[in-house]
Structure 1
């Protein structure tokens, strides 16, 4: 982002704001936004379940491992971390749905052309990569440290706030507040 000047950012923001006035742009569908919003929660729920399986396998290392024993284990105590991931995932879905609606309201050709949007998208990708690496690492170690089975929903919950903080800081640093307000008003009209 160091190659941009204040003038360049202002021109880019003007391009983004002007693109919102176009009455021919398509309104993103609920399904399209929902699919994108559910990626991280579904990934978190899946890794939480894998963590429970990993914990079960380490717990039963000396005993008979079977699907029926796992089913009993899961319904007695193994479902807690998965349920926590579902609750956090639902919260994550609701929060990310709003942000993705704002993002998807900007036409895709303008999003791809905009240096500011590319910068924010790059920051989000880096943050997601850190999150994915962290919960994958935690999932691997659930067999060694059983308490880590609850770390996946915990990390997802922290990630929910971290991603919003990262985006908010960049939006404010680049002076995109007025553009975000205009997008919000446009969405309310729809």
Structure 2
């Protein structure tokens, strides 16, 4: 965790407020927002497909019935119990991410790079996402041996959604930047 002084936080918030109030905001393209907000859910669906394939393949080797049509049949029957929650949680995740990215991407790129607070929050988000993606890959590997790990992808996707929002909120409060970021958010919404 980074340590900042109150003066650094105040200077950073003043810089962010001045840059945004000066009209230097950027309107992000909807295609860019959609790509970024659906990245984790799309990756989760892909990992969920690999997860069901691993479960099917390992179990089919035990009973000697591995064939590609069997996987499709398994996927459309029992595999849906893993895919449907992944898709539903992914849609919720992408909607919330879309709103957060909409606010984040309206801040010009050079301002984001200069900002201590936004840089710190970006590092925290990146580390959290990488940690949960590692757990998802571990769940894919273990699902071939223990069937309950097949539900690890939707569970970890939901946990990532909750933990990410909780950690970002806690860091904003820790830095004392909550009120200032709310003012910036309201200013961006008016623009």
* Residues 144-186 of structure 1 deviation map (CA, whole Å, 9 limit, x = unaligned): 0011111110111011010000100111111222232223323
> Normalising to structure 2: TM-score of the pair?
0.93
SS at match of 1:77: coil
Aligned-pair CA distance for 1:90: 0.3
Q: How many Å apart are 1:93 and its aligned residue?
A: 0.3
* C-alpha displacement of 1:24: 4.1
Q: Does the aligned pair in 2 maintain the 1:81–1:149 contact within 8 Å?
A: yes
1:187 Cα deviation from its structure 2 partner: 4.2
Alignment of 1:145-160 (within 5 A): 145-160=146-161
1:23 corresponding residue in structure 2: 23
Please tell me whether the aligned partners of residues 102 and 183 of structure 1 are also in contact (alpha carbons under 8 angstroms): no
Cα root mean square deviation, aligned: 1.3
Q: 2: distance between equivalents of 1:150 and 1:163?
A: 20
User: Following superposition of structure 1 onto structure 2, how do residues 22-171 of structure 1 map, counting pairs within 5 Å?
Assistant: 22-61=22-61, 62-171=63-172
Contact 2:24 2:108 in 1 (8 A): no
Tell which deviates more after alignment, 119-128 or 20-29.
20-29
Deviations 1:24-47 (A, max 9, x none): 432112211111111111111110
The answer to which of 113-122 and 18-27 deviates more is: 18-27
3-state DSSP of counterpart to 2:81 = helix
Residues 28, 106 of structure 2: 8 Å contact kept: yes
Unaligned runs of 5+ in 1: none
SS at match of 1:143: coil
What runs of 5+ residues in structure 2 fail to find an aligned partner? none
Cα distance in 2 for residues equivalent to 1:24 and 1:144: 54
Q: Identify if the C-alpha distance between structure 1 residues 51 and 71 changes in structure 2 by more than 3 Å, giving closer, same or farther.
A: same
Contact 2:9-2:177 at 8 Å conserved across structures: no
Aligned length: 189
Distance 1:24 1:184, change over 3 A: closer
**Whole-angstrom distance in 2 between the partners of 1:56 and 1:77:** 10
